[in-house]
Each structure stands twice: as C-alpha cells, then as structure tokens.
Amino acid sequence: MDFPEPLAHLLVVDDEPNIRELLAVSLRFSGFAVSAAADGREALAAADAQPPDLVILDVMLPDMDGFDVAARLRETRRVPVLFLTAKDAVEDKVAGLAIGDDYVTKPFSLEEVVARINNVLRRSLGEQVPGRYVVADLELDDQAHEVRRGGTRIELSPTEFKVLRYLMANSGRVQSKAQILDHVWHYDFAGQQGIVESYVSFLRQKLEVAGPRLLHTVRGVGYILREPRAGE
C-alpha cells in the first residue's frame, strides 16, 4: 500500500508530555511527519539528526530558554519557528516575533496551530523560491528585488516591496487587510489595519505616476491588484 508523501517534517518541542503527544498525534493526522523533544538539548540533537521544515517550540523549557534554542537552531540553517507558550504579554509577543515566525499562546486550539503552521510554511517557501510577477505593464522580479512599470524602474522600500509582491502573487483576487497584515507583518496588529491603508497609499503614489490605476479598493472588503478595464 502506498502512503502519501508528508506535507512537511515538523519538530515539536514541549516539556509537558500531554501537550507534546497531543500535538504530535494531531499533526501526524493532519498529514505532517513529526519528531518530538522534551527540552532544548533534545531539540538541538533531533534537528541535527533530521533537519525539520518547521519547529513548534515552547518558550519555557526546563534546561534552556526557547528563544535561545531558536537562535542556536538558526546558527546552521534558516528554519521557521512557531513559538508556543503560556506568556501572552505584549512584550513577550514582540520578543517572540523578533526571533520566530509566529506566536501561539496556551491554551490553544489545534485548528489554529495547524492554520498557523500552514501560513508559516507558505511564507517560508515563498521566500525561498524567487519569482517574477507581471500584471499589465507592471513587473516585479523577486530575485533582483526590482519593480518596473512600462520599463521604468520604481524604487520601493522593503515593506512596500513585500506588500506589492503579495498583491501581485494574488492578482485578480481581493485580499483583506487582515490577510495582508498576516502575510507581510506576520502577526495580528490588534486592529491596527490602518498601516495597510498607509502602504497601499504609498504604492499608489509610486505606481500610478507611470500609468493607469492597477491597485483598487473593494469597499468593506480589502484591495485587489488587476489589469485595467475598458474605460478606466
């Protein structure tokens, strides 16, 4: 009997046996290959023996801080990290997101953990595979980190580039402010969706100098980047 190829190899690191086993079983059921470790030293040894595609890492481990484990894991390779912890203060989230790729607080739902794992993996794969996007006369070269419209180069800040890349990768589909926040800034800004409006405004100012509008507002929903229609 042939079994499907695992979606990715995950390493679960948590000193609480019940949580560690629950996550391992649930993630295997969701189609992932899973290794598990009870502390930092076990995690480093497991990652060395079989490099994971993503690490679900508890911050409060018995032998070392989870942030230190993440830093040591990344001394040899860039591995995405999803922190899992009971700490939910703003400063803890900021510290976690400065080192890792996402942050889930206990108690958590398995559905949320799986959704966040998939989001981090999509972002990670997207960053590793450079691409070229074209919408009308607008071109974005991910490898060269260049944007041109009508052949003229447009200078963008790193964040403007990431917002535009996300919209171009999803051209023709409406993207909500929450989706853009999650992809570009990697976590929920607790209602601060005005930052998306600001960056869309910056992009429009730079893109529309060279041609008709490509980036449109869908009122009450979000934004869409598409080719101009007749009469626009």
Residue 156's pLDDT is 92
CA-CA distance, 137 to 55, in Å (whole number)? 40
Q: What is the mean pLDDT of the chain?
A: 83
DSSP state of 60: B
Model confidence at 128, pLDDT cuts 50, 70, 90, reads very low
CA-CA distance, 8 to 34, in Å (whole number)? 8
Give residues with Cβ within 8 angstroms of 21, minimum separation 6: 36
Residue 190's pLDDT is 52
Residue 27's pLDDT is 92
**pLDDT digits 0-9 by tens, 175-213:** 888 888 877 876 555 556 788 899 999 999 999 887 889
**pLDDT digits 0-9 by tens, 9-39:** 899 999 999 999 999 999 998 888 899 999 9
Residue 39's pLDDT is 96
**pLDDT digits 0-9 by tens, 33-46:** 899 999 999 999 99
Residue 155's pLDDT is 93
Residue 56's pLDDT is 95
Residue 4's pLDDT is 47
- Asked if the model's pLDDT at residue 127 lies above 60, the reply is no
Give residues with Cβ within 8 angstroms of 49, minimum separation 6: none
Q: Which residues of 142-168 are buried (b: 16+ CB within 10 A; e: fewer)?
A: beeeebbbeeeebebeeebbbbbbbbb
Residue 36's pLDDT is 96
Residue 88's pLDDT is 62
Cβ atoms 82, 116 nearer than 8 A: yes
Q: Return the closest-CA partner of residue 32 out of 128, 126, 110.
A: 110
CA-CA distance, 86 to 96, in Å (whole number)? 12
Give residues with Cβ within 8 angstroms of 184, minimum separation 6: 159, 162, 163, 166
Q: What is the pTM of this model?
A: 0.54
Cβ atoms 92, 85 nearer than 8 A: yes
CA-CA distance, 212 to 228, in Å (whole number)? 7
Q: Return the closest-CA partner of residue 39 out of 18, 65, 21, 19.
A: 65
| Phi, psi dihedral angles at 30 (to 5 degrees) | -80, 0
**pLDDT digits 0-9 by tens, 53-111:** 899 999 889 999 888 999 888 887 778 899 888 766 666 666 666 667 788 888 888 88
Q: How far is CA 207 from CA 85, 161, 162, 217, in A?
A: 42, 12, 15, 15
